[in-house]
Structure 1
Amino acid sequence: MMADQHAPMLSLRGLTRRFGGLTAVDAIDLDLGKGELISIIGPNGAGKTTLFNLVTGLDRPDDGAVRFEGQDITGLSPERLAAEGIARTFQLGRVFGNLSVMDNVLIGAHTRLRAVKPAMAVIGPLLELGLALLRPAGVRAEEERLREEVKAILARFGERLLPRIDQPAYSLSYANRRRVEIARALALKPRLLLLDEPTAGMNPTETAEMQALVAELKAEGLTILLIEHKLEMVMRLSDRVIVMDEGRKIAEGPGEEVRTDPKVIEAYLGHGLSGTTEQESAA
């Protein structure tokens, strides 16, 4: 199905998730255009990460719909959505500790493998395993190409990761594990990237580096949905800002306009709306 070129890349309508008597996400509407960066902010517990989980298939909504490039993707598995070009990172970084930096990032490219993915629904997985084990010339050539792509992705982080390319992820600093997770998402070559607090736990220098990377990805035309507590970064990067509180969207618009909205100020009382160093906690 061809998507309407004027339609939003991502569209949420009435998205709702309840946990017992708690409505964690309450009838959220959102339109994200191609190449746009929208930030979602709000006090801790506002429902931001739950919203990400609904978009990326880690959880299913009780009501509402998620559409990606005009196609209803509500409730599809994370694997299916990755194959469609949707990648995400997590609030608490997830890496494979015993795998090297290279192998962690290669996992992100798995959905793009062609030489080891025969298009046969029934016996395809067995053939895929056989090809991966035997590694014929076509498989080796594709692996080498992907390894070069991974090196190019890691180079975007300066000298943070390339010198550690063969080290196991468990040996990395917290900030470098976050970088590996983002590199893995980029290895998917996503059309839509969801970043959940990418600078959580980072110092000011590390935060500035991450902000520069996100700005670079945006300038290259990548569509990004961002959750971030560091408000100065949000204001600098975002085309629009959406504010959530208690599962509801309470404001949406340009950053400076949202920042002075009385409802937003009230929601953030005691949470440091104008601060830039809020500590990471559950969303």
Structure 2
Amino acid sequence: MTLLSVETLSRSFGGIQAVRDVSFTLAEGETVGVIGPNGAGKTTLFNLLSGHERPDSGRVAFAGREITGWAPERLIGQGLARTFQHGRVFANLSVLDNVLIGASARLRYARPNWSLLGPLGELLRALLQPPAVRAEEAALQAEAQTLLHRFGERLAPRANHPAHSLSYANRRRVEIARALAARPRLLLLDEPAAGMNESETLELQHLLLDLKTQGQTMLLIEHKLDLVMQLCDRVIVMDDGAVIAAGTAAEVRRDPAVIRAYLGDSAAAKGEFTQVPEVTL
């Protein structure tokens, strides 16, 4: 079943065509990587898919429903969640609260903002909160803790630590956990392994492979090509805002347009893309 359909999507900024007539589909349960040199338009594509930018033209459909130009919060409610290229956590909130924010799109019961009333608000919250709301909050807390434990000793022992106290790699993990808390049908990952060393990247690879085994649909941008090759069913290659190749990892690494985009004409003449495991693209 096709979960995501992108048709001739385009976006310009001034005289720069950041995304040019991009089209592809993503099946439910599939993991697809988006690669390409810096400035290829990969993150702009993610911004268009997740509602952080509006396209100039083109169409996006998700689960059979057109979502072109929808706001991010509406898309999260429909089951499309993402992480960001440079990482975005709520620095002064705890790790656990960051993850709970991801689950907020699934809240069934409305509730007042008791924090506006200071200490009195906490008392009123304890006294007046309906049992159904308390039960829902307890369930989400338990689910958030379970998500943190998926990252082993990296996050679970730090559940009550402020997010700003974490390493860069752990902040990336918090962001992934927060996106998973929304229970997305489609997870967009923008350079999830950025800032991670070799062993940390391997841990992330195992986590993402586990998610894949469980049927999680994923679209990811990543510069660490070993991770892409190990994880992805298909690879989409972008350059200068356009898709220049798509297929399996074996197919795209032999594509002359891909070799030329990464390594230049002389490498393209040799006929194969023999890239080292990690490269700055």
| Common topology (TM > 0.5) | yes
Aligned structure 1 segments of 4 or more residues deviating by more than 6 angstroms: 270-273
1:275 corresponding residue in structure 2? 276
What SS is found at the alignment partner of 1:201? coil
Asked whether the 8 Å contact 1:59–1:75 carries over to 2, the reply is: yes
2:68 corresponding residue in structure 1? 74
TM-score with structure 1 setting the length: 0.89
Q: 1:250 aligns with which of 240, 244, 253?
A: 244
User: What is the alpha-carbon distance in structure 2 between the residues aligned to residue 234 and residue 240 of structure 1?
Assistant: 9
Shift of 1:273: 6.4
C-alpha spacing 1:184/1:126, structure 2 compared with 1 (3 Å): closer
Q: 1:215 aligns with which of 209, 212, 223?
A: 209
User: What is the alpha-carbon distance in structure 1 between the residues aligned to residue 243 and residue 280 of structure 2?
Assistant: 22
Extract unaligned runs of 5+ from structure 1: 1-5, 118-124
Amino acid at match of 1:222: Q
After superposition, what is the alpha-carbon deviation per residue over 1:239-262, rounded to whole angstroms, capped at 9, x for unaligned?
100000000100000001101111
Shift of 1:115: 2.4
What SS is found at the alignment partner of 1:159? helix
Shift of 1:279: 4.4
2:270 corresponding residue in structure 1? none
What SS is found at the alignment partner of 1:266? helix
User: What is the alpha-carbon distance in structure 1 between the residues aligned to residue 236 and residue 90 of structure 2?
Assistant: 32
TM-score with structure 2 setting the length: 0.90
Task: Work out whether 1:33 is the aligned partner of 2:27.
Answer: yes
Asked whether the 8 Å contact 1:200–1:279 carries over to 2, the reply is: no
C-alpha spacing 1:273/1:167, structure 2 compared with 1 (3 Å): farther
Amino acid at match of 2:81: A
- The 5 A counterparts of 1:91-110 are 91-110=85-104
Task: Work out whether 1:144 is the aligned partner of 2:145.
Answer: no
1:3 corresponding residue in structure 2? none
Amino acid at match of 2:45: L
User: What is the alpha-carbon distance in structure 2 between the residues aligned to residue 102 and residue 156 of structure 1?
Assistant: 13
After superposition, what is the alpha-carbon deviation per residue over 1:10-67, rounded to whole angstroms, capped at 9, x for unaligned?
0000000011111100000010000000100000110000000000000000010000
Asked whether the 8 Å contact 1:201–1:279 carries over to 2, the reply is: no
| Percentage identity across paired residues of the two chains | 60
Q: Which structure has the bigger radius of gyration?
A: 2
User: What is the alpha-carbon distance in structure 2 between the residues aligned to residue 135 and residue 175 of structure 1?
Assistant: 37
1:182 corresponding residue in structure 2? 176
What SS is found at the alignment partner of 1:241? strand
User: What is the alpha-carbon distance in structure 1 between the residues aligned to residue 46 and residue 23 of structure 2?
Assistant: 13
Shift of 1:218: 0.7
2:108 corresponding residue in structure 1? 114
C-alpha spacing 1:199/1:273, structure 2 compared with 1 (3 Å): farther
Asked whether the 8 Å contact 1:241–1:254 carries over to 2, the reply is: yes
Task: Work out whether 1:259 is the aligned partner of 2:260.
Answer: no
Per residue, is there more helix in 1 or in 2? 2
1:43 corresponding residue in structure 2? 37
